[in-house]
Structure 1
Amino acid sequence: MTVNEKTAAEFIRFLKQFVPLTDTEVRKQLLPIITLREFNKKEIITRAGEVEDYINFINKGLLRKYFKSDEEEHIVQISREGHLISSQESFYTRTPSEYYVESIEPSVLLSISYDDMENMFQQSHNLERLGRLVTVHTMVLKDKWQTSLIMQSPRERFLNFVENHPEIIQRVPQKYLASYLNIKPETFSRFKHLIKNRRSTSVTPIV
């Protein structure tokens, strides 16, 4: 179903980081094409082999994106409220997705379909610029994460993640985080144990 301005407030604030948006652009061009979609825990939102039809803003909940290799899952993204998630390559190229997108928790997404987005871009240069800047933003985040996987040790990745995303540690199953951080499960458990020890012996906790 479509959304009102109150429901889409966080999404609109997110978009206004990139370009100024007029009330007319929000009410007449953006809101009519935003669809609210609700998913239960562990529900598939995008399936590998299918074309991704939506770009999604997480209004509530937690999601993961992963691919399968020999039936083993490899997580490439874990995102919570206030972030975008989709199978981007599939969405923009209109080719079958290599990834699954799945809810970790019950989730509410604000979604825009590919066709609606393209029609919106044709009507407004400002909104077309918005789309380009959002795409660049997500590409930069992806590149930064890929760099951290190469340049940082597993311990450094773990500590940085805990310091920057302490709430996700409590919400995501350990096996998912180990896969996302590219850390062996037993190593992840050891790191987590060290963190607990440091928190119990330190006046100022690290998270």
Structure 2
Amino acid sequence: MLPLSMPVNEKIAADFVKFLRQFVPLTDTEVKKELLPIVSTREFAKKQVISKAGEVENYMNFISKGLIRKYYKTGEEEHIVQISREGHLISAQESFYTRTPSEYFVEALEPSVVISLTFEDMERLFASSHSFERLGRLVTVHTMVLKDKWQTSLIMQSPRDRFLNFVENHHEILQRVPQKYLASYLNIKPETFSRFKHLLRLKRPAL
């Protein structure tokens, strides 16, 4: 099933524009005349694959609604490297920027709506003005820093600390994502994850 793709109007794009303005103060004219005409909204059903391993990633996606995961497979086992909700970017980034086949699957965990920009349109946008070129650099740095922080936590923190930090900072996702996916994402054995959740319930009144 192909995603439903539509043009983006200002109301739908409001959160996307707010996200971008964290990095560069885009003018209303830049948004209306240069940005909105080249992005589109795409809708995906629950469990629908957004991009596949072995294919070149063509889109950078901002999540307007829903929950999306990124994972790779070894044999039949899935290894989740990203779970993102509304207000965040997701794509097979290495493939997107290098134009080489991806190692990752990107899949909707809930019915999802994303605002998408193709690689070709992104390149033209960045070349059109210093403001957009700077925006692209700052957003790329932002995503790299988030990725490095997460990789550091996987190395430096104990499974228990990773779990507790995730609960503290992403409690909403804990309620929306199947436990087996969260265990994979946090690199915690499923039985250990279950034990941590049990301890959390016992201690919750004291938190």
Deviation at 1:94, TM superposition (A): 0.3
Structure 1 match to 2:27: 22
> Aligned letter for 2:162?
R
Structure 1 match to 2:120: 115
* Cα distance in 1 between the residues matched to 2:149 and 2:15: 24
Unmatched runs of 5 consecutive residues or more in structure 1: none
Q: Tell me the TM-score normalized by structure 1.
A: 0.96
Q: Tell me which of 77, 94, 98 is aligned to 1:93.
A: 98
* Cα distance in 1 between the residues matched to 2:51 and 2:141: 22
* Cα distance in 1 between the residues matched to 2:78 and 2:21: 35
Equivalences for 1:27-42 in 2 at 5 Å? 27-42=32-47
Cα deviation code 1:131-186 (max 9, x no counterpart): 11000000000000000000000000000000000100100000000000000000
* Cα distance in 2 between the residues matched to 1:152 and 1:121: 38
Residue 134 in structure 1 maps to residue 139 in structure 2:
yes
Structure 1 match to 2:80: 75
4+ long deviations beyond 4 Å: none
> Aligned letter for 2:8?
V
Residue 185 in structure 1 maps to residue 181 in structure 2:
no
Q: Tell me which of 170, 174, 180 is aligned to 1:175.
A: 180
* Cα distance in 2 between the residues matched to 1:195 and 1:106: 29
Deviation at 1:190, TM superposition (A): 0.1
Q: Tell me which of 65, 71, 80 is aligned to 2:70.
A: 65
Deviation at 1:101, TM superposition (A): 0.2
* Cα distance in 2 between the residues matched to 1:125 and 1:96: 30
Q: Tell me the TM-score normalized by structure 2.
A: 0.96
Number of equivalences: 202
Deviation at 1:22, TM superposition (A): 0.8
* Cα distance in 1 between the residues matched to 2:161 and 2:128: 46
* Cα distance in 2 between the residues matched to 1:119 and 1:134: 16
Structure 2 match to 1:45: 50
* Cα distance in 1 between the residues matched to 2:98 and 2:130: 21
Cα deviation code 1:182-204 (max 9, x no counterpart): 000000000000001111x42xx
* Cα distance in 2 between the residues matched to 1:168 and 1:20: 30
Could you tell me the percent identity over the aligned residues?
Answer: 76
- What is the RMSD computed on CA atoms of the aligned residues? 0.6
* Cα distance in 2 between the residues matched to 1:158 and 1:86: 24
